[in-house]
Amino acid sequence: MKSYFENYESLHDSSFEDFMAHQLSSSLCQGIPDNWNVGVRLSVRELSLVGEGSHRHLSSSIRLQIAAASIPKLPAHLCEVIVIQRLPLGVFADPFELQNPHKHKAFRDIAVFGDTNLELPSFQSNRSAVEFHIDAGFNILFMQNNGTEFNLLLPLDARYQPLDESGYSVVEIGEPDMLMRCSVEGKQHKQSCLFMSPPNEKAKSTSATVAWKIPAGMKAHAGFLSVITFVTALLSTLSIVYASMFLSGTKVSKT
């Protein structure tokens, strides 16, 4: 994602998919003529939202499969799975919460890219993405025929939504993008090779997307809420002035 945002100002699906298909794939690994002969296959087995209210968790179950004959060729102790979860407008991941080492110690690295302003409403914000790096070396060494699975739990928060007469705004979260990176010994320095599943071998999860129904304000209620807000603010101000003048024991001079 850092390389993507060095070339693009904001996150758009078309730009990102073009970046993955052309710019990123062109530098997968110079040391391997055919990037698919290692038999790497990454798939999302399950995608779901956990919890209620405006703070939820996105649960993802990811399966890594590698052809048995290719496992000895990979430097297993230097391999990692990279998962990129693109988020739609109206939803964000708190970068401060993701930095908690006790909750996310299973990840080698984790970072949020894009719009990280937590205070902006949906209609004034841009999209963001979360990138996970998961150590896969140990799992590859003991991989069975059906592969190995990684479970991710990403905490998400809902932004304030634009006005909608239905009272709700629906945002859809799609499957993450996945690849595996292995560091191999080069002649002069370590080379980093990226492996992605061939497009025709990508397996779909039971839920390709999940929908989050977020409460939104209604235009018909705007006038009423404005009056209530104004009256409440006025009464609160008068209460503070009254308490400071008559209940604090301080005498107020005429001047």
The answer to whether 94 and 110 have CB atoms below 8 angstroms apart is no
The answer to whether 205 and 43 have CB atoms below 8 angstroms apart is yes
Tell me the pLDDT tens digit for each residue of 55-92. Answer: 999 999 998 887 777 666 665 557 889 999 999 999 99
Rounded to whole angstroms, the Cα distance separating 253 from 5 reads 61
Rounded to whole angstroms, the Cα distance separating 159 from 156 reads 10
Tell me the pLDDT tens digit for each residue of 190-221. Answer: 567 777 776 555 555 555 789 999 988 777 77
Rounded to whole angstroms, the Cα distance separating 237 from 240 reads 5
Tell me the pLDDT tens digit for each residue of 107-165. Answer: 888 999 999 888 888 888 999 999 999 888 766 656 666 678 888 999 999 998 887 77
- Tell whether the model's pLDDT for residue 35 goes beyond 60: no
Q: Of 89, 172, 78, 155, nearest to 123 (Cα)? A: 89
- What pLDDT is recorded for position 102? 54
- What pLDDT is recorded for position 185? 60
Rounded to whole angstroms, the Cα distance separating 163 from 217 reads 5
Two structure tokens written together for 242: 């009254």
pLDDT band at 105 (very low <50, low <70, confident <90, very high): low
Q: Which range is most confident: 28-42, 114-128, 182-196?
A: 114-128
DSSP-assigned letters across all residues of 134-155: EE-HHHHHT--TT-EEEEEEEE
pTM: 0.78
- Tell whether the model's pLDDT for residue 33 goes beyond 50: no
- What pLDDT is recorded for position 174? 93
**Could you tell me which residue, 13 or 67, shows the higher pLDDT?**
13
- What pLDDT is recorded for position 235? 94
Rounded to whole angstroms, the Cα distance separating 16 from 173 reads 16
Domain ranges of the chain: 4-217, 220-248
